């Protein structure tokens, strides 16, 4: 079959130039109006489609795959892919791709920004100022925690974790400790200037804990009430990994009771809905899943997802396959 006869569905609004690029290779149908689609509508849009451009929000699972037998590739415009049931995709011979690397530095920048904002009480103090409550200087007005020279704990030492470590160690003179399923090899540890600790040691020693884990059954509530109890009362917790890795209800309790000092959250359990307790707390900085959202990085992520569709459907060569065993089978 010639490549120009493949049909591709773009499930969410994306940059027009990326849509144009896909249009040069495929017959493209897109949800440029960015309507929220039910699974049934998604299935209907995928009839006859060989590829789908997804973001982290669209679920690809066994029922969808069974209903869309023409599908060959799902290209996620996200590094995380917990919206994919990858074993089901592999069983159906459908390739999954994600968008790693291009967002690493931008996402690490944002993690750092959330850590600084939470530790130095930036959102809280701005709300106070905007509310017209600032009457005079005071010695302890919004006095928070220091970041420079403190201990940064990183839970999840992939590419983004290591980029955070470099910033902490080299930019802010921090001691960096980390925990990961697998310890890094000595070269990577040295490059990251980071020391491995077991999880309980990490929790006890971190002044600022940055959670960068992907979500899976095995990382569900990795940080819960028991883990929060191990942390310092002066500590901040930042989650830029995935909602559900931190137990948000337990976090609300810990922030409310002063078990930890502050938090910065970009991802939430059940997002875009939030645990209502979070909204009432002054000592938490909340952002709507935008850690990778610089203009150039979001554009690069969209191009990478599009290039995966083009590479696979036209040449059989995706750039960032998640289940390459599918390539062997085909
Ligand atoms: C964003 O959360 C991503 O996984 O890219």
Q: What is the pLDDT of residues 196-217, one digit of tens each?
A: 999 999 999 999 999 999 999 9
Q: Write the residue with the smallest CA distance to atom 5 of ligand 1.
A: 78
Residues 45 and 97 in one domain: yes
Residues 119 and 186 in one domain: yes
Mean pLDDT of the chain: 97
77 CA: nearest ligand 1 atom: 5
Nearest to 203 by CA among 185, 222, 190, 219: 222
pLDDT at 329: 56
Mean local confidence (pLDDT), 93-101: 98
Beta-carbon contacts of residue 277 (< 8 Å; ≥ 6 apart): 248, 249, 252, 256
Phi and psi at residue 53, to the nearest 5°:
-95, 115
DSSP assignment of 97-150 equals: E---STTHHHHHHHHHHHHHHHHTTHHHHHHHHHTT---S--TTTT-----TTS
CA of 301 to the centre of ligand 1 (A): 10
What percent of the chain is predicted at pLDDT more than 90? Answer: 98
Residues 54 and 186 in one domain: no
Mean local confidence (pLDDT), 91-98: 98
pLDDT at 246: 98
CA of 281 to the centre of ligand 1 (A): 26
Q: Is the pLDDT of residue 15 over 90?
A: yes
pLDDT at 4: 55
CA of 34 to the centre of ligand 1 (A): 18
Mean local confidence (pLDDT), 61-89: 98
* Pocket flag, ligand 1, residue 304 (CB < 6 Å): no
| Overall number of domains in the chain | 2
Residues 85 and 171 in one domain: no
User: pTM for the full model?
Assistant: 0.96
Mean local confidence (pLDDT), 142-169: 98
Helix (H) or strand (E) holding 42: helix 39-45
Mean local confidence (pLDDT), 321-325: 97
* Pocket flag, ligand 1, residue 158 (CB < 6 Å): no
Question: At 93, which CATH number?
Answer: 3.40.50.720
Residues 150 and 168 in one domain: yes
pLDDT digits (tens, 9 = 90+) for 228-245: 999 999 999 999 999 999
* Pocket flag, ligand 1, residue 323 (CB < 6 Å): no
Q: Write the residue with the smallest CA distance to atom 1 of ligand 1.
A: 78
Residues 146 and 74 in one domain: no
pLDDT digits (tens, 9 = 90+) for 98-124: 999 999 999 999 999 999 999 999 999
Active site amino acids: 242, 271, 289
Residues 178 and 324 in one domain: no
Candidate of 291, 305, 320, 322 to mutate for ligand 1, largest count of ligand atoms within 8 Å of Cβ: 291
- Show the domain range for 234: 104-286
pLDDT at 239: 98
Whether residue 160 contacts residue 108, with contact meaning beta carbons closer than 8 Å, is answered with yes
Residues 60 and 86 in one domain: yes
Residues 96 and 170 in one domain: no
103 CA: nearest ligand 1 atom: 5
Residues 158 and 218 in one domain: yes
* Pocket flag, ligand 1, residue 42 (CB < 6 Å): no
- DSSP three-state, residue 306: helix
Q: Is the pLDDT of residue 3 over 60?
A: no
CA of 326 to the centre of ligand 1 (A): 23
CA of 137 to the centre of ligand 1 (A): 40
Q: Is the pLDDT of residue 1 over 60?
A: no
Residues 181 and 108 in one domain: yes
Nearest to 158 by CA among 79, 274, 237, 83: 79
Residues 31 and 68 in one domain: yes
267 CA: nearest ligand 1 atom: 2
pLDDT band at 330 (very low <50, low <70, confident <90, very high): low
CA distance 196 to 194: 7
pLDDT band at 5 (very low <50, low <70, confident <90, very high): confident
């Amino acid at each position: 079959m010639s490549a120009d006869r493949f049909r591709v569905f773009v499930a969410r609004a994306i940059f027009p130039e990326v849509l144009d690029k896909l249009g040069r290779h495929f017959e493209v149908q897109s949800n440029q109006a960015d309507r929220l689609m039910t699974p049934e509508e998604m299935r209907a849009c995928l009839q006859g489609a060989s590829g789908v451009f997804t973001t982290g929000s669209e679920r690809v699972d066994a029922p969808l795959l069974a209903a869309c037998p023409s599908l060959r590739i799902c290209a996620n415009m996200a590094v995380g892919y917990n919206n994919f049931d990858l074993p089901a995709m592999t069983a159906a011979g459908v390739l999954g791709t994600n968008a790693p690397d291009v967002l690493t530095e931008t996402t690490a920048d944002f993690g750092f920004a959330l850590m600084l904002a939470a530790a130095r009480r930036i959102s809280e103090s701005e709300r106070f100022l905007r509310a017209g409550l600032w009457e005079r200087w005071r010695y302890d007005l919004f006095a928070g925690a220091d970041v420079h020279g403190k201990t940064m704990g990183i839970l999840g030492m992939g590419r983004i974790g290591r980029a955070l470590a470099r910033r902490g160690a080299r930019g802010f003179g921090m001691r960096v400790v980390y925990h990961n399923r697998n310890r890094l090899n000595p070269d990577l540890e040295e490059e990251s200037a980071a020391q491995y600790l077991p999880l309980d040691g990490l929790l006890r020693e971190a002044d600022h804990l940055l959670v960068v884990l992907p979500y899976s059954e095995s990382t569900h509530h990795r940080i819960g009430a028991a883990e929060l109890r191990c942390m310092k009362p002066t500590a901040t917790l930042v989650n830029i990994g995935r909602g559900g890795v931190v137990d948000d209800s337990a976090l609300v309790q810990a922030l409310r009771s002063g078990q930890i000092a502050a938090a910065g959250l970009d991802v939430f359990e059940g997002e875009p809905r939030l645990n209502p307790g979070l909204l009432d707390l002054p000592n938490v900085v909340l952002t709507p899943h935008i850690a990778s959202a610089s203009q150039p990085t979001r554009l690069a992520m969209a191009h990478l997802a599009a290039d995966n569709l083009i590479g696979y459907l036209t040449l059989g060569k995706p750039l960032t396959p998640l289940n390459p065993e599918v390539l062997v089978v085909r």
